[in-house]
Structure 1
Amino acid sequence: MIRAVVFDIGETLVRDGRYWGSWADWLGEPRHTVSALVGAVVAQGRDNADALRLIRPGIDVEAEYAAREAAGRGEALDETDLYPDVRPALSALYRAGVRVVIAGNQTTRVGDLLRDLDLPADLIATSGDWGCAKPDPEFFARVLAASGTLSYETVYVGDHPVNDVFPAAAAGLRTAHLRRGPWGQLWADDPDVVATADWSINGLEELVEIVTTE
């Protein structure tokens, strides 16, 4: 029986377009250029921020992030950034008595913005809140503590094999790989992903059906 579902954030619940678009605007580059470079580093298995380092070699990403915040051009997130199936799926799980947790690699600022959206979730936390990030096993230990359930009763849902599927499975959680966004689409049919994930899904409606009938 599945008693808790834990959701990744970026490209699972929230589109990343605004995030990368704002970086493009800050650096004075066309949005298409930044998107293309993000795709390139993703395909190479590199850190997302390497796209920014390609544009501006030697950039201090954390310092630039702080400068953006200070200039009033920092991270923003609202209802329009959510994928359309997010609120209905979370609501259905919540009504079914399943514990709903949102936990991903994001800043404390994003955590605050998500909490302001009043999503149907028991807990929303980010790597910035916890001081540890995926794929660190400590992050998934925190996930289990937040879920309040046993590992085999808990499903972690995400799009990224290295950050989501593989480490969650290694921690004993059940996993659902979501075919969404550049990471989810690129590795959807990867043999290791297919073999590791308990389920491969195209949308969160499929997840609701799985969880409520399991």
Structure 2
Amino acid sequence: MIETIAFDIGETLTRDDRYWGSWADWLGVPRHTVSALVGAVTFQGRDNADALRLLRPGIDIAREYAAREAAGLGEQLREEDLYEDVRPALSALRELGVRVIVAGNQTVRAGLLLRALDLPADVVATSGEWKVAKPAPEFFAHVIDAAQTAPGRILYVGDHPVNDVFPAKRAGLRVAHLRRGPWGHLWADDPEVMETADWSISSLSELAALVGG
């Protein structure tokens, strides 16, 4: 029985297109160039921040991030950055008595912005706040603590095999792989992903029926 569902953030709950577009604007390159490079490093299995390193070899991403914040052009999250199924799906799960956790690889500021959106969730946390990022086992230990139940009663939902599907399964959680965003679509039919994930879904709206069933 699934008692808690924990959600990845980027490309599971939130769209990343405006995020990468803002980096393109900051670096003075076409948005299409950044999108293409993010796709390329994704295909190669590299960190998506490598797209910025390809554009600006030697870039200090942390320093640039701080400079953007100081210029008033820093990280933002708005209602329109949420996928359309997020609020209805999370609300439906809570109505079923499921504990809802939002937990992904994001900054401390992203955690503040997410909480400001007042999502229908019991816990909202980020790797920046926990000081450990996926795929580290310690991240999923935090998820289990926040879930307040046994690992086998927790379902982790995410799009990324390396950061979501495989480490969550190793931690003893159930896993739903979401076909969404570049990573979700790229690896949706990968045999290892299909074998590891307990479920493959195309929308968060599928989860209520899954839990209810």
Flag whether TM exceeds 0.5 (same fold): yes
1:142-185 Cα offsets, whole Å, 9 max, x none, are: 00000101011000000000000000000000000000000000
Any idea what SS the aligned residue of 2:189 has? Answer: coil
How much has 1:208 moved relative to structure 2?
Answer: 1.6
- Tell me which residue corresponds to 2:139: 139
How much has 1:205 moved relative to structure 2?
Answer: 1.0
2: distance between equivalents of 1:212 and 1:98? 10
1:75-101 Cα offsets, whole Å, 9 max, x none, are: 011100000000000000011110000
How much has 1:126 moved relative to structure 2?
Answer: 0.1
The count of corresponding residues between Structure 1 and Structure 2 is 213
Residue 112 in 1 paired to residue 135 in 2? no
TM-score computed with the length of structure 2 as normaliser: 0.99
Moved over 4 A (4+): none
Any idea what SS the aligned residue of 1:51 has? Answer: helix
Letter of the aligned partner of 1:105 in structure 2? Answer: N
- Tell me which residue corresponds to 2:24: 24
1: distance between equivalents of 2:71 and 2:50? 23
- Tell me which residue corresponds to 1:210: 210
2: distance between equivalents of 1:143 and 1:211? 19
Letter of the aligned partner of 1:7 in structure 2? Answer: F
2: distance between equivalents of 1:139 and 1:190? 25
TM-score computed with the length of structure 1 as normaliser: 0.99
How much has 1:212 moved relative to structure 2?
Answer: 1.9
- Tell me which residue corresponds to 2:121: 121
2: distance between equivalents of 1:77 and 1:92? 23
- Tell me which residue corresponds to 1:164: 164
1: distance between equivalents of 2:44 and 2:207? 29
Any idea what SS the aligned residue of 1:204 has? Answer: coil
How much has 1:65 moved relative to structure 2?
Answer: 0.5
Structure 1 unaligned segments of length 5 or more: list them.
none
2: distance between equivalents of 1:89 and 1:138? 27
Identity %: 72
- Tell me which residue corresponds to 1:48: 48
- Tell me which residue corresponds to 1:187: 187
1:112-166 Cα offsets, whole Å, 9 max, x none, are: 0110011110000000010000000000000000010101100000000000000
2: distance between equivalents of 1:211 and 1:11? 22
1: distance between equivalents of 2:27 and 2:159? 27
1: distance between equivalents of 2:98 and 2:176? 16
Residue 175 in 1 paired to residue 178 in 2? no
Any idea what SS the aligned residue of 1:169 has? Answer: helix
How much has 1:111 moved relative to structure 2?
Answer: 0.6
Residue 33 in 1 paired to residue 33 in 2? yes
How much has 1:24 moved relative to structure 2?
Answer: 0.3
- Tell me which residue corresponds to 1:151: 151
